[in-house]
C-alpha cells in the first residue's frame, strides 16, 4: 500500500527553522538543514562546532571513547581519571549487555571506577593519585587490562596518563595498562572520542594474541555495542549459519577476543561512524577488508548475510544462509503482516547517533512508514553523503586535533585476504567493500536532513509535520511526549530490544505498533476539555510548545 502523504514544502520548513536565530547562527544552521535529493546528494554541513546555547543533543569526546567504544568490553577495568561526575554518569547507563560463561569470569561492567580528583590534584597534578588508583585496582582485581580515560581537567593540568599507564604496565608485567586522551573538549562531539578510542584499541589491544582463530568463515563485528542484547541476536544467527565471530568491537566482548581480532578474514561494520577507523587501520596493517552491513531490519539482515556469504564465496555457506533466512523469515512475515495495516502510512522522524538514524529507516520502511526527516547527532559528511565525499571534506582545526595514526602493513602479519581484482569483483556485485553510501541515498526526495538538530528545531519540526513517532534519546523523550507524540529512544531502546536480526525486527514492529496506536494519546484531554472543543471554545490537541 502506497502511503498517501502530504507534506509541507521542505524548503519553506527550512526557512522557518532558522528564522528565530540571530543572523550569524541562522547562517550557520542553514548549512546543516538540507532538502534531500537522492539523485544529486547535496552537501550537508556536519561534524562542525555546535552553536553555544542552542540546546544540542550532543555529548563529549569522553562519552564517545569510554561510554561507547570501550564501555562494553567486560573484563577491562576502566578507570576514569577526573572529578567524580564523568565516571558516575557513564555508569551502566548505556545498557551494554554482556554474558560471561561462568560466574568466575571477569565482568567489571557493573562497576564504576574513578580517581575522584580533588582540588589539590588539580593544583598540584593528579598523576600520583592516578598511579595509586591503578595499583589499588590491580591489587584488588588482578584484571587483564586497565584502561585510563582522561576527563577535561586532566589535559589542561598536563597529567600524562600515557606515561603513568606505561610505568604501571611495566611494573605489573601481567596487566596491560593503557590510556586515552579523550578529554571532553576534544573535537566537537562524541565522534572525536570514537576516533581516539579506535586509535587506542588498535595500538594497545589488537594484535597482541596471534593464536590462529578456528573456523572456516571468520569475521569481526565492528560498531556493535550489544545494547539491549543486539549482539546476542547477531551471534545467534552467525552460529546458525556457521560463521565464526572472532571478536566484536565491542558488544559482549572480552579483551582476549579483541587482541585476537587480526586473525579474522573479514570485518563487517555496523556503526560506520564510531568504528570505520578500525576497519581502515586493520586493512592496512593486516590486509583484512571491511564491509558495511546492517543487521537492523529483517530484510537488511537477510541482505547482509547474503553479502557475507558472497564475500567468502563459498557455495555451502551461501546455501546455509538461504536455509536460515527461509527458516527465520516466515515468523517475521507473519507478524509484520498482522501489524502492517495499523502502521502503514504513518510517519517517523529520526534524530539520533551516527548510524542509527539511517539503519532504523529500514525497520520503519518494513512497517510501511515513511521517514520524513532525519539527521545525526555526531556524524560526518560521509555518513550522510557516502564515503565518496571523503576527499572533499575540509579538515578543520577541531578535527586536526585528533590524532591520525600512521599505519603500515605489518612485516609479518600482513596478509591480504582478497586480491584487488577480487575486491573489485565483489564491489561490482553490490557489496559495500571498504565503502558506505550513506543515509541520503536511501531517503526520499524532498525529505529533510538536519544535522545536530537543536531543541528549537525539533519542536518546530514536530509542530509542522506532526509525525506519528519521533526517534531520539532520553533528553528528548519526555519533551516530545509532552507534545502528545510518542518518542522511541534509539540509544537505550526504552529499555527493550534487541532490535537486530530477525528477532529484533519482530520486537521493533511490536513496540512501534504499541507506541503509535497506544490509547493513552487519545486520553490527554479531559472529558470537559473535549466538550469545550466540540463547543468551539478551545482548539483541539495539537503538537506545539510554549516559551512564555
Partner 1 sequence: MLLRHTTKEVKEREGLTINPAKTCQPIGAMYAALGIHGCLPHSHGSQGCCSYHRSTLTRHYKEPVMAATSSFTEGASVFGGQANLLAAIETIFSVYEPDIIAVHSTCLSETIGDDLQQITRKARDDGKIPEGKHVIFASTPSFIGSHVTGYANMVTGIAEQFAVSTGTKKNQINIIAGWMEPSDMREIKRLSKELGVKIVLFPDTSDVLDAPQTGKHVFYPKGGTTVEELQSTGDSIYSLALGSISAEPAAIALEKKCKVGFETLDIPIGLTATDRFIMKMSEVAKVSVPDEITEERGRLVDVMADMEQYLYGKRVALFGDPDQLLPLTEFLLDLNMKPVHIVSGTPGQRFEKDMRQLLDARSPETNFKNGLQADMFLLHQWMKNEPVDLLIGNTYGKYMARDEDVPFIRFGFPILDRIGHSYFPNVGYSGGLRLVEKILSALMDRQDRDALEEKFELVM
Q: Which residues are catalytic?
A: 60, 63, 94, 194
Which part of the chain contacts partner 1 (CB under 8 A), choosing from 387-395, 441-449, 464-472, 540-548?
Answer: 540-548
**For every residue of 191-218, which 3-state class applies, written as one string?**
HHHHHHHHHHHHHHCCCCCCCCCCCCCE
Residue 514 C-beta: closest distance to partner 1, Å: 18
Site string for partner 1, 511-530 (x = CB under 8 A): -------------xx-----
Judged by CB under 8 A, does residue 93 bind partner 1? yes
Judged by CB under 8 A, does residue 125 bind partner 1? no
Which part of the chain contacts partner 1 (CB under 8 A), choosing from 60-68, 309-317, 381-389, 501-509?
Answer: 60-68
> Interface residues for partner 1 in 217-236 (CB under 8 A)?
none
Residue 251 C-beta: closest distance to partner 1, Å: 18
Distance between CA 488 and CA 467 in Å, rounded? 12
Residue with cell 582485581: 141
Residue 534 C-beta: closest distance to partner 1, Å: 16
Task: Give the one residue of 481, 494, 517, 532 binding partner 1; rule: CB under 8 A.
Answer: 481
Residue with cell 519533551: 479
Neighbours of 12 (CB within 10 A): 11
Burial class (CB in 10 A: 0-12, 13-18, 19+), 528: exposed
Interface with partner 1 (CB under 8 A), residue total: 101
Neighbours of 316 (CB within 10 A): 12
Which part of the chain contacts partner 1 (CB under 8 A), choosing from 171-179, 294-302, 367-375, 476-484?
Answer: 476-484
CA distances (Å), 307 to each of 340, 428, 452, in order?
Answer: 27, 12, 32
CB-nearer residue toward partner 1: 129 or 292: 129
CA distances (Å), 517 to each of 41, 346, 486, 528, 530, in order?
Answer: 34, 11, 10, 23, 20
Which part of the chain contacts partner 1 (CB under 8 A), choosing from 151-159, 274-282, 288-296, 426-434?
Answer: 151-159
Distance between CA 316 and CA 321 in Å, rounded? 9
Task: Give the one residue of 71, 72, 187, 354 binding partner 1; rule: CB under 8 A.
Answer: 187
Burial class (CB in 10 A: 0-12, 13-18, 19+), 429: exposed
Task: Give the one residue of 478, 514, 518, 538 binding partner 1; rule: CB under 8 A.
Answer: 478
CB-nearer residue toward partner 1: 535 or 547: 547
| Residues whose CB falls within 8 Å of the CB of residue 44, separated by 6 or more in sequence, listed in order | 31, 32, 34, 381, 384, 385, 440, 449, 451
Which part of the chain contacts partner 1 (CB under 8 A), choosing from 91-99, 203-211, 225-233, 297-305?
Answer: 91-99
Judged by CB under 8 A, does residue 172 bind partner 1? no
Site string for partner 1, 361-400 (x = CB under 8 A): ------------------------------------xx--
Cis upstream peptide for 250 (omega within 30°)? yes
Judged by CB under 8 A, does residue 189 bind partner 1? yes
Task: Give the one residue of 35, 340, 407, 541 binding partner 1; rule: CB under 8 A.
Answer: 541
Site string for partner 1, 416-455 (x = CB under 8 A): --------------------------------------xx
Judged by CB under 8 A, does residue 212 bind partner 1? no
CB-nearer residue toward partner 1: 203 or 530: 530
Task: Give the one residue of 484, 494, 510, 532 binding partner 1; rule: CB under 8 A.
Answer: 484
CB-nearer residue toward partner 1: 3 or 92: 92
Distance between CA 91 and CA 80 in Å, rounded? 11
Distance between CA 155 and CA 161 in Å, rounded? 9
Task: Give the one residue of 14, 41, 44, 59 binding partner 1; rule: CB under 8 A.
Answer: 59
Mapping DSSP to helix (H, G, I), strand (E, B) and coil, where does residue 379 land? coil
Mapping DSSP to helix (H, G, I), strand (E, B) and coil, where does residue 472 land? strand
- The dihedral formed by the CA atoms of 17, 22, 25 and 30, expressed in degrees to the nearest 10: 30
Give the strand pairing for 448-450 and 370-375: parallel
What angle, rounded to 10 degrees, do the helices at 298-312 and 356-366 form? 110
Which part of the chain contacts partner 1 (CB under 8 A), choosing from 128-136, 277-285, 299-307, 382-390?
Answer: 128-136
Task: Give the one residue of 11, 20, 338, 531 binding partner 1; rule: CB under 8 A.
Answer: 20
Amino acid at each position: 500500500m502506497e502511503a498517501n502523504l502530504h507534506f509541507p514544502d521542505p524548503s519553506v520548513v527550512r526557512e522557518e527553522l532558522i528564522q528565530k536565530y540571530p543572523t550569524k547562527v541562522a547562517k550557520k544552521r542553514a548549512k546543516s538543514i538540507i532538502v534531500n535529493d537522492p539523485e544529486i546528494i547535496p552537501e550537508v554541513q556536519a561534524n562542525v562546532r555546535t552553536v553555544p546555547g542552542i540546546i544540542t543533543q550532543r555529548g563529549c569526546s569522553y562519552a564517545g571513547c569510554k561510554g561507547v567504544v570501550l564501555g562494553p568490553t567486560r573484563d577491562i577495568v576502566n578507570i576514569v581519571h577526573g572529578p567524580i561526575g564523568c565516571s558516575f554518569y557513564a555508569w551502566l547507563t548505556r545498557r551494554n549487555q554482556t554474558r560471561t560463561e561462568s560466574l568466575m569470569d571477569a565482568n567489571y561492567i557493573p562497576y564504576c571506577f574513578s580517581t575522584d580528583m580533588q582540588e589539590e590534584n588539580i593544583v598540584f597534578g593528579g598523576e600520583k593519585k592516578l598511579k595509586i588508583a591503578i595499583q589499588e585496582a590491580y591489587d584488588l582485581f588482578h584484571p587483564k587490562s586497565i584502561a585510563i580515560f582522561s576527563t577535561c581537567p586532566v589535559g589542561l593540568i598536563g597529567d600524562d596518563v600515557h606515561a603513568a599507564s606505561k610505568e604501571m604496565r611495566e611494573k605489573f608485567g601481567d596487566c596491560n595498562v593503557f590510556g586515552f586522551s579523550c578529554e571532553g573538549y576534544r573535537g566537537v562531539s562524541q565522534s572525536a572520542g570514537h576516533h581516539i578510542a579506535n586509535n587506542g584499541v588498535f595500538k594497545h589491544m589488537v594484535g597482541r594474541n596471534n593464536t590462529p582463530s578456528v573456523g572456516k568463515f571468520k569475521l569481526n563485528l565492528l560498531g556493535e555495542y550489544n545494547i539491549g542484547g543486539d549482539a546476542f541476536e547477531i551471534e545467534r544467527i552467525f552460529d546458525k549459519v556457521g560463521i565464526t565471530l572472532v571478536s566484536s568491537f565491542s558488544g559482549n566482548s572480552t579483551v582476549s577476543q579483541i587482541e585476537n581480532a587480526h586473525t579474522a578474514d573479514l570485518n563487517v561494520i555496523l556503526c560506520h561512524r564510531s568504528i570505520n577507523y578500525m576497519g581502515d587501520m586493520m586493512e592496512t596493517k593486516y590486509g583484512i577488508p571491511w564491509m558495511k552491513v546492517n543487521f537492523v531490519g529483517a530484510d537488511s539482515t537477510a541482505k547482509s548475510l547474503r553479502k557475507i556469504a558472497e564475500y567468502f564465496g563459498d557455495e555451502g555457506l551461501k546455501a546455509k544462509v538461504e536455509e536460515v533466512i527461509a527458516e527465520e523469515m516466515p515468523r517475521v512475515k507473519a507478524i509484520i503482516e498482522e501489524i502492517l495495516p495499523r502502521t502503514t502510512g504513518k510517519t517517523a522522524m529520526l534524530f539520533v547517533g551516527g548510524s542509527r538514524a539511517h539503519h532504523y529507516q529500514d525497520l520503519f520502511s518494513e512497517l510501511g512508514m515513511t521517514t520524513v526527516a532525519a539527521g545525526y547527532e555526531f556524524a560526518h559528511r560521509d555518513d550522510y553523503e557516502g564515503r565518496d565525499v571523503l576527499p572533499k571534506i575540509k579538515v578543520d582545526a577541531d578535527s586536526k586535533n585528533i590524532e591520525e595514526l600512521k599505519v603500515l602493513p605489518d612485516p609479518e602479519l600482513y596478509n591480504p585476504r582478497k586480491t584487488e581484482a577480487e575486491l573489485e569483483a565483489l564491489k561490482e556485485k553490490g557489496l559495500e567493500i571498504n565503502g558506505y553510501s550513506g543515509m541520503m541515498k536511501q531517503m526520499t526526495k524532498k525529505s529533510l536532513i538536519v544535522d545536530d538538530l537543536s531543541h528549537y528545531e525539533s519542536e518546530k519540526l514536530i509542530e509542522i509535520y506532526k509525525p506519528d513517532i519521533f526517534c531520539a534519546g532520553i533528553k528528548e523523550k519526555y519533551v516530545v511526549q509532552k507534545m502528545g507524540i510518542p518518542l522511541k529512544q534509539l540509544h537505550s531502546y526504552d529499555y527493550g530490544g534487541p532490535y537486530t536480526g530477525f528477532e529484533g525486527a519482530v520486537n521493533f514492529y511490536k513496540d512501534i505498533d504499541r507506541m503509535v496506536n497506544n490509547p493513552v494519546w487519545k486520553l490527554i484531554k479531559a472529558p470537559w476539555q473535549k466538550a469545550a472543543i466540540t463547543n468551539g471554545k478551545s482548539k483541539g490537541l495539537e503538537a506545539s510548545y510554549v516559551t512564555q
